[in-house]
Amino acid sequence: MGRKLIGIDLDHTTLNEAGQVSPVTQKTLQAAQAAGHIVAIITGRPPRLTQDIYDQIGLKTPMINFNGGLGYNPNQSWADAYSYQVKREIVFDLVEQAPNLAVNTIVAEQAQQVFGQRFLGHEQGPTNLKFFPQDQEQRAALTPQNVQGDVNAILLHVTQNAIPQTQKWLKARYGKDQVTVKTWGADDPVIEVAPAGVAKDTGLQVLQRSFAIKSDDVYAFGDEMNDLEMLSYAKHGVLMVNGNMSLKTVANEMTDYTNDEDGLARYLQKVLKLDIQGDKK
């Protein structure tokens, strides 16, 4: 069996609904890596919310963060490491314009640092505080003094029902040559401002070239709209059965089980012929 590239989304895909890697999934991914396959996390999360999961699984491969914006190996040098960024000027233009928009929170992320600012006069802020940390010990103030360079991603938490007009404004102001504007599929009304032309398939393609993986041996697992490009690109784009069914048009396959039922692990056990003790067969 040829070496496979296995790109795995985290939330609602590799992680169960409790936000954990189950023992079966952990053993399966470790067995796949031990068999010589390239298992790589490809997530919208920043490194600060990915490293513990990476370590728990026991991965040695590069990981892709910020929906394709950053690719690096946490433990060793990787010749193909990269970082796509949004200009610092856009960050502070957004801060200046926020009072005129339906934006109540802005978070800007660099590889190892998070900056944020809350704006008064809007409805309740985000509930997903791991992405929008409010504690000053968890984030630095979003000020020109603190943010000295460009950023990998900007998250805007906006007033409910304001996403369409805010998206339109962002695209008109900055243009598709500077930014990619996307919404999240989660309950919170979140808009992501990312580097132009960057998506999860960006990281998947870099990994494929870096490890000389044949197109027929590229697998990708995901559940939500930020996985669209990755599932479209992979020869085996696998949609979680608990995922957004709008992605059925681009996915090649679907798991038989949900993320709470080790759907990703069961799929890999079958395709890679892995014998994992303690699974739920």
Q: What is the mean pLDDT of the chain?
A: 92
Identify the residue whose tokens are 């085996």: 236
Per the CB < 8 A criterion, the answer to whether 68 and 200 are in contact is: yes
* Mean pLDDT, range 9-28, rounded to an integer: 97
Whether 144 and 58 map to the same domain: the answer is no
CA 41/CA 61 separation, integer angstroms:
9
Q: Report the CATH number at residue 25.
A: 3.40.50.1000
Whether 104 and 191 map to the same domain: the answer is yes
pLDDT tens for residues 135-192?
666 678 999 999 999 999 999 999 878 889 999 999 999 999 999 998 876 667 899 9
Identify the residue whose tokens are 């197109």: 215
Output the pLDDT for position 161.
Answer: 85
Examine the pLDDT at 127 and tell me if it is beyond 90.
Answer: no
Per the CB < 8 A criterion, the answer to whether 259 and 240 are in contact is: yes
Q: What angle do CA 141, 144, 148 make, to 5 degrees?
A: 100
- Measured CA to CA in angstroms, residue 181 lies from 55, 59, 176, 190 at distances of 31, 31, 8, 11
Whether 205 and 176 map to the same domain: the answer is no
HSE-CB for 186 with a 13 A CA cutoff? 14
Whether 103 and 79 map to the same domain: the answer is no
* Mean pLDDT, range 62-85, rounded to an integer: 97
**Is residue 117 classed as helix, strand or coil in its secondary structure?**
strand
Confidence of residue 280 (pLDDT cuts 50, 70, 90): very low
The structural domain count of the chain equals 2
Output the pLDDT for position 181.
Answer: 94
Considering 195, 228, 255, which residue would you say is the last residue of a domain?
Answer: 195
Per the CB < 8 A criterion, the answer to whether 263 and 240 are in contact is: yes
Tell whether 280 is covered by a domain: no
Tell whether 159 is covered by a domain: yes
Confidence of residue 63 (pLDDT cuts 50, 70, 90): very high
Listing from the earlier edge strand, what are the strands of the sheet with 70-72? 63-65, 70-72, 82-83
pLDDT tens for residues 180-232?
998 876 667 899 999 999 999 999 999 999 999 999 999 999 999 999 999 99
Residue type, 145: Q
* Mean pLDDT, range 235-254, rounded to an integer: 96
Q: Tokens for 210, please give them.
A: 């870096």
Tell whether 76 is covered by a domain: yes
Whether 115 and 180 map to the same domain: the answer is yes
Output the pLDDT for position 122.
Answer: 52
Whether 211 and 79 map to the same domain: the answer is yes
Weakest mean pLDDT among 71-80, 183-192, 238-247: 183-192
Q: Report the CATH number at residue 121.
A: 3.30.1240.10
Tell whether 279 is covered by a domain: no
Cβ neighbours of residue 14 under 8 Å, at least 6 residues apart? 8, 21, 25, 29, 41, 53, 221, 259, 264
Tell whether 68 is covered by a domain: yes
Q: Tokens for 276, please give them.
A: 């994992």
Residue type, 73: N
Whether 226 and 243 map to the same domain: the answer is yes
Considering 175, 195, 215, which residue would you say is the last residue of a domain?
Answer: 195
Cβ neighbours of residue 203 under 8 Å, at least 6 residues apart? 7, 40, 42, 64, 68, 71
Whether 105 and 180 map to the same domain: the answer is yes
Whether 133 and 188 map to the same domain: the answer is yes
Output the pLDDT for position 281.
Answer: 44
Whether 219 and 257 map to the same domain: the answer is yes
